Every structure is written in structure tokens, then in C-alpha cells.
Amino acid sequence: MDLAVAAAVAIVFAPLMLLIAAALLFEGGRPVLFVQTRIGAGGRPFRMFKFRKFHAQCSAHDLALTVAGDSRMTTVGRFLAATKFDELPQLWNVLIGDMAIVGPRPESPAFADCFRGGFEAVLKYRPGLLGPTQVLFRHEAYLFPQSMDPIRFYREALFPAKARIDLSYYPRRTIASDLVWMARGFLAVLGHVPSPPVDI
């Protein structure tokens, strides 16, 4: 199902992806893609692809989070962040088996140490483009309080909240429930996003 969905979506969105690539080249030149190591199933690292949202001179080793009003973001990047179209190149990750359509969001190695105290069970599942946490935390960048370091807030609040949601869903997932989250992911892109959990 992952291969069929990824191939179909890639074909449908191929013209849009070409337009995005052209817009990025026109705005700031190369690279068009942002490639970053992420943690996959079993804790194995893989290279994840996204359209570049930040200025070309930004380093992959900068802050591993995107916050509201991030000064690194370009004009095209803000559009990509609002629509989540920057995630489209990850269809390639699905096609080569690094990711699934539905699965936990792949974490940066900067937060590898967060997978402990039971949360390491999340790594049993192949990371995905869509899923409960991707939908519920669709506007994650706006959740970071200005009074607290974003890395600390992610480690202490957002990561545990997302891990608990993943562990409540994936052990009992079904094909039907995955299809529901695919549909909810599409609706989230259109702006129909449920409120995130209040206990973060």
C-alpha cells in the first residue's frame, strides 16, 4: 500500500514539485532539497529529503527545530511550511523503504536520547509522512513559548506528548485506521486541524 500510494501521489504532484523546485532556484539558487539524517525504524539512521525552506547558507547543524517567525525561512519557505509541501520529496523515502505513508514522525539525531523510559518502543515502527502526531501537531512551530528555550520545551513537553500518542496508536493500528489518518492528513493540509493535546 505504501508503494502504491507514494507512486500515485508522486505522479499527481509531479507538476507542483517541478514548480516548487523552479521557485526555489529562482529565489535563492541551489540546493533545492534539504537533506538531513533522521532516526528510522530500529534506531537506524537514514537520509530524509525535503524541499529547502531556509536560506541556502543555513547549515543542517543549526537549530533542529522550526519555530514561529523563524528568521531562517525564505518567502517560498513560508509557503512550503504553511502547506507542508516541503514534505513531498519524502515520497522518495517511502519508495525506497526508509519511511511509510503512515508512521511516527522521524526524529533528528539531536533528540536520540529522548527515546528512553519506554519511549524507545516508538522506534519499532517505520517513520511516516502522516500519522496522528503529524496531524495533531500540524502547527507545532506556534506551540513554543517565548519564555522557554525551544530545545528544552521540545524535550520536556512536545516529544513526550507525541511519543505517548504514537504508542497509543501504532500497537493497535489497522489498514482502515491508517486510511482515516491519511484522509485527516489531507484535511490538515487544507486547514482542518484538531487542537493538540492540552497536557503538553
Give every CB contact of residue 183 below 8 A, 6+ residues apart in sequence: none
What are the distances in angstroms from CA 197 to CA 8, 72, 92, 164? Answer: 32, 28, 31, 11
Instruction: Assess if residue 197 is contained within a domain.
Output: no
What are the distances in angstroms from CA 108 to CA 11, 91, 142, 158? Answer: 28, 18, 19, 14
Instruction: Assess if residue 198 is contained within a domain.
Output: no
pLDDT range class, residue 28, cuts 50, 70, 90: confident
Backbone angles phi, psi at 51, to 5 degrees: -70, 145
Backbone angles phi, psi at 46, to 5 degrees: -150, 165
Number of domains in the chain: 1
Instruction: Assess if residue 199 is contained within a domain.
Output: no
Instruction: Assess if residue 53 is contained within a domain.
Output: yes
Alpha-carbon span 69 to 78, nearest angstrom: 9
Instruction: Assess if residue 102 is contained within a domain.
Output: yes
The residue assigned the cell 532516526 is 39
**What percent of the chain shows pLDDT beyond 70?**
88
The residue assigned the cell 533528528 is 108
pLDDT at residue 149, rounded to an integer: 87
**Which range among 22-31, 43-52, 65-74 shows the weakest confidence by mean pLDDT?**
65-74
Instruction: Assess if residue 196 is contained within a domain.
Output: no
- The residues facing 54 across adjacent strands are 73
pLDDT in tens, 59-78: 555 656 776 667 788 888 88
pLDDT at residue 48, rounded to an integer: 96
pLDDT in tens, 35-44: 989 999 999 9
Domain that holds residue 169: 2-189
Instruction: Assess if residue 80 is contained within a domain.
Output: yes
Alpha-carbon span 191 to 173, nearest angstrom: 25
pLDDT in tens, 167-199: 999 999 999 999 999 988 888 776 666 655 555
Q: Which of 82, 96, 75 is nearest to 27 (CA)?
A: 75
Instruction: Assess if residue 158 is contained within a domain.
Output: yes
